[in-house]
Structure 1
Amino acid sequence: MRCAIMRAFADLLDGLIYTRSRNAKLKLIGDYLRATPDPDRGWAMAALTGKLDLPAVKPALIRAMVEARVDPVLYAMSRDFVGDSAETIALLWPEPAVPPEDTTPLTLSHIVATLAGISKSDAPAILASMLDRLEADERFALLKLAMGALRVGISARLAKTALAQAFGLDVDAVEEVWHGLVPPYAPLFDWAEGRGAQPAARNVPVFRPFMLAHPLEAESVDLADYAAEWKWDGIRVQLVHVAGETRLYSRAGDDITHSFPEIAASFAAPGVLDGELLVKGEFQGGEAASFNALQQRLGRKQVSARTLAEYPAFVRLYDILFDGEEDLRALPWTERRTRLEVFAPRLDPERFDVSAVIEAADFAALEEIRAGARDASIEGVMLKRRDSPYVAGRRAGLWYKWKRDPLIADCVLMYAQRGSGKRSSFYSDYTFGAWTAEGELLPVGKAYFGFTDEELKWLDRYVRTHTVNRFGPVRETDKTLVLEVAFDSIHESKRHKSGLAMRFPRISRIRTDKPAHEADTIEGLRRLAT
């Protein structure tokens, strides 16, 4: 028995994948939300914004499930070619020999309720029975929903914008209440359709959207109107303390309190602050260490005493959104800065400090200061208009980010792997290396952007015609192609064989003019390490 709701969700995902226009995507989502009843549209929004978690469904479980129905070698080869597990399984899944006995309509709410309440041992059989009742594109939608990684070319912000436009709401108002609600968002849709008041989050430590910056394209701003601060290379965080509870949120709105318990325990003053989460450097007098050190703390559900001691975290504060219950976001930056400097002394100085303002007479002086900043934890400079309120998202003319110029190295292509989504047919993920003193090539980084579409096609052909070995989905090339790699910084790393790790590497040029033996060395790159 086919279900119109599951068909509509499958059509939505299909449309989003094959639509490039932002406005067309907004319309697709908006039309779907207006036409789909509760609670299914709420679960669809949870999936589109990455807020749906079905812990019983894991990639390994799904792989074992499909290999019980399909030849494992065929599946592995097909997965390698297609580049996406859900799409591969949806296409390969065999029709059942006997029509399914269960004909319960597969609505999104039924799927979520069923998969959320099952054990890992029961999940394969139940998920397989659902797949048996669907067509290929519906199977794809089900698997994407179950695995929680849609990858259909939209961001959470775009999905919320589509909802706001569909029902005539202000997207910032939607953002303001979003993190105080849980799927399937019934109060949100009641408000959107005029059945209820705007939801409010009082006495709850909810996330507020960050104010973001535009890249500075040219010296088109008057420095007299802007304050300059360092752009620190950690992760942007929001600290919220309300009604005795503290939460630490990432830029995406994810709750990362459990990963940094010492920060949460030290923030007990009612308010909401914006800052950069960093790790103290062992050899820098307590100053910030590189992003590589911070990575040792990210994503941990439990943090050991040893990790806390070896990688002590602190927050460099940028801004204040709330002082107690008082909302300061409408105040100009200069007044918020003053309030922040008054607020900060209430906090533990071992865990919190205020990001310094850079004093520069003019742009030339600021550019010289910026160019000389090769500290491990500095990405560049922020310019903030002194009269700017704190508003969600990027607003032209208010905040700018002026990143330091990237470092450049000539590296040798070593391995390549297919990408995902629209790049699943191309070898677009490249591992590259540098030479040791003994003439050995060791990997120093991996990049999957920086090149044009035409360069991608050229690189894909090169990989296919210069493959010397295969390791599952990875192809080893003949180590003759030099790639010019741009990167923000490079750091010592015990996790990598070369002892080095690049920060934000990207392919800036294909050096067919340069012999591989003239590429850069590990020792040369080590001299750039901070």
Structure 2
Amino acid sequence: MQAFARLLDSLSFQPARNAKLRLIETYLRETPDPDRGWALAALTGGLDFSSAKPALLRGFGQEKIGEELFALSYDYVGDLAETLALIWETDPAAGPPPTLGEVVETLQRATRTQTPAILKRWLDALDSTGRWALLKLLTGALRVGVSARLAKQAVANIGDQPVDAVEEVWHGLEAPYRPLFDWLLNGAPRPSSNAGAAFLPAMLANPIDRAELDALDPAHFRAEWKWDGIRVQVAASGGLKRLYSRAGEDVSGAFPDIIEAIDFEGVFDGELLVRRESAVAPFNDLQQRLNRKTVTPKMLKEHPAHVRLYDVLWLESEDLRGLGFDERRARLESWIAQKERPRFDLSPLVSFADWAELAAKREEMRADGIEGLMLKRGDSAYVAGRPKGPWFKWKRDPMLADCVMMYAQRGHGKRSSFYSDFTFGCWRDGAEGRELAPVGKAYFGFTDEELRWLDKWVRDHTVNRYGPVREVEQKLVLEIAFDGIARSTRHKSGVAMRFPRISRIRTDKPAAEADSVDNLLRLLS
């Protein structure tokens, strides 16, 4: 456990990607099984401890120093694991600290009633860094700047293999991944990839703007609408059926309606949407289905999932990734035409003669579910990663609204000392006159210097406190950029923004001149 704690501690203070890779590689080479496998599972989000949840850990802190003092400490530090690690004290009589393998394997067997005593004994035995790492492990919120892809890159590097080779076998493995390490380090055979039901690393596009298009020949490219959903991969083979996110996370459990509709074998690239009577619903509707472990019959009926396909990677035991896009598209069109598939359809191509015509179509299209265009070379093979040249995304310009800051809250991790999460509103007519109604929350879009300015402004203009939340004077206008807007019954204003972020701090504009909710509603038309 102590070695894993040192790894997390080092990663949290190391901003450089390549340096993080070296830290993980060194740990994986020097740490024996099964600890290195469990560490890899933790870094890739593959561990879940059902008997050790944040509520239990908060209870430990409240027992130690009292509910109010713990709440104040947690608010100040901004991180549950760090707060609890700091207020706990090491007990020399507690015995040796546990290994990472001992922690994982013990908690996998422990009941809810056994878990509190086990955790307290370990917290007594560990030093402050070890306690912090243990608590991070339990909550799953490592926050050390390591993505699942980066961790897989590190494990691929120790075996001199491409990361895509690791991705292709990943979903046929279970932690602590002994067959994976045996293959990479000990010359054992490559693990099975589950054939066509394996996740195949996605091909990604580079952003482009109108001026850059003039350097490209439009005859070489095909255009599709960029659908405002979630990129997914549908994979089925040998009775196995899977739905993967773009990052390779298995999300099948949240979308049983899609899984039940799979009656084919192959791997398809597409966009997960909510679709009703042939119309794509706003992204807010899809959000109701995301990150759910169980889905009610009512949710399935009211928010029916759908996959709009735009590429085929594997079909009837044949790997098509080496073919050009035009050839893959022809195979996909032929396949989709064979029979009606209620949960699947084909993303249409957008015809155009030149960039000017395509730009005009992009400006005209403001329908729900579309956030721009995808451009793909007709001869482009399906290559994992983000190669330069074959695929581009030409997103719609963001919508803008002038809003007034209403509330602020401190961030987490490195931002725990700053007010960095801001709730903002627009004007509407209320029972007692003109009032602000919250329309969104943003915590990025500003520079470090602007963050310091905003933090001081919040502290200087606080009028009320509600636990960790500060209410501020209704004076500061923020220009908010967002990618779309939809009606929402969950928000008092009746609208919900898609990906809001702070575009500018408008100290030059009086709050009375900020936008109204009615102005936002007009964007829906």
Which residue of the partner structure matches residue 519 of structure 1? 514
1:81 aligns with 2:76: yes
1:201 aligns with 2:196: no
Asked if 1 retains the 8 angstrom alpha-carbon contact of 2:90 and 2:123, the reply is: no
SS of match in other structure, 1:19: coil
CA separation in 1, counterparts of 2:64 and 2:300?
Answer: 46
1:440 aligns with 2:435: yes
CA separation in 2, counterparts of 1:180 and 1:388?
Answer: 29
What code does the residue aligned with 2:456 have?
Answer: R
What code does the residue aligned with 1:415 have?
Answer: Y
What code does the residue aligned with 1:199 have?
Answer: P
TM-score (norm 1): 0.95
Asked if 1 retains the 8 angstrom alpha-carbon contact of 2:197 and 2:235, the reply is: yes
Q: Mean alpha-carbon deviation: is it higher for 148-157 or for 200-209? A: 200-209
Residue deviations 1:309-351 (CA, integer Å, cap 9, x gap) = 2222211101111112111111111111111111113454422
Cα displacement (A) at 1:127: 0.7
Which runs of 5 or more residues in structure 2 are unaligned? none
1:107 aligns with 2:99: yes
Which residue of the partner structure matches residue 472 of structure 1? 467
1:402 aligns with 2:394: yes
CA separation in 2, counterparts of 1:161 and 1:255?
Answer: 19
Identity of aligned residues (%): 57
SS of match in other structure, 1:394: coil
1:294 aligns with 2:286: yes
SS of match in other structure, 1:393: coil
1:169 aligns with 2:161: yes
Instruction: After TM superposition, list the pairs within 5 Å mapping 1:262-277 onto structure 2.
Output: 262-277=257-272
SS of match in other structure, 1:193: helix
Q: Mean alpha-carbon deviation: is it higher for 67-76 or for 469-478? A: 67-76
What code does the residue aligned with 2:369 have?
Answer: S
1:132 aligns with 2:117: no
1:243 aligns with 2:234: no
Which residue of the partner structure matches residue 191 of structure 1? 183
Q: How many residues align?
A: 519
1:122 aligns with 2:117: no
CA separation in 2, counterparts of 1:28 and 1:214?
Answer: 29
Asked if 1 retains the 8 angstrom alpha-carbon contact of 2:196 and 2:235, the reply is: no
CA separation in 1, counterparts of 2:48 and 2:68?
Answer: 30
Cα displacement (A) at 1:99: 1.2
Asked if 1 retains the 8 angstrom alpha-carbon contact of 2:170 and 2:193, the reply is: no
Cα displacement (A) at 1:299: 2.7
CA separation in 2, counterparts of 1:405 and 1:62?
Answer: 44
1:45 aligns with 2:40: yes
CA separation in 1, counterparts of 2:90 and 2:243?
Answer: 47
Residue deviations 1:186-226 (CA, integer Å, cap 9, x gap) = 01111111330111223573222211111114324322221
What code does the residue aligned with 1:159 have?
Answer: A
CA separation in 2, counterparts of 1:39 and 1:18?
Answer: 26
1:63 aligns with 2:55: no
What code does the residue aligned with 1:367 have?
Answer: A
Instruction: After TM superposition, list the pairs within 5 Å mapping 1:325-340 onto structure 2.
Output: 325-340=317-332
What code does the residue aligned with 2:378 have?
Answer: R
Which residue of the partner structure matches residue 23 of structure 2? 28
Instruction: After TM superposition, list the pairs within 5 Å mapping 1:227-242 onto structure 2.
Output: 227-242=222-237
Which residue of the partner structure matches residue 255 of structure 1? 250
What code does the residue aligned with 1:298 have?
Answer: L
What code does the residue aligned with 1:449 have?
Answer: F
Which residue of the partner structure matches residue 12 of structure 1? 7
Which runs of 5 or more residues in structure 1 are unaligned? 1-5
SS of match in other structure, 1:410: strand
Asked if 2 retains the 8 angstrom alpha-carbon contact of 1:275 and 1:317, the reply is: yes
Which residue of the partner structure matches residue 315 of structure 1? 307
CA separation in 1, counterparts of 2:448 and 2:425?
Answer: 23
Report the aligned-residue RMSD: 1.5
Q: Mean alpha-carbon deviation: is it higher for 209-218 or for 173-182? A: 209-218
What code does the residue aligned with 2:368 have?
Answer: A
Which residue of the partner structure matches residue 385 of structure 2? 393
CA separation in 1, counterparts of 2:275 and 2:12?
Answer: 42
What code does the residue aligned with 1:172 have?
Answer: D
Asked if 1 retains the 8 angstrom alpha-carbon contact of 2:486 and 2:495, the reply is: yes
Cα displacement (A) at 1:172: 1.1
CA separation in 1, counterparts of 2:158 and 2:20?
Answer: 12
CA separation in 1, counterparts of 2:518 and 2:153?
Answer: 49
Cα displacement (A) at 1:33: 0.9
CA separation in 2, counterparts of 1:179 and 1:391?
Answer: 20
CA separation in 2, counterparts of 1:351 and 1:167?
Answer: 40
What code does the residue aligned with 2:37 have?
Answer: G
Residue deviations 1:270-313 (CA, integer Å, cap 9, x gap) = 111111111124xxx52111101112222333333332222222
Cα displacement (A) at 1:164: 1.8
Question: 1:17–1:246: structure 2 CA closer, same or farther, 3 Å change rule?
Answer: same
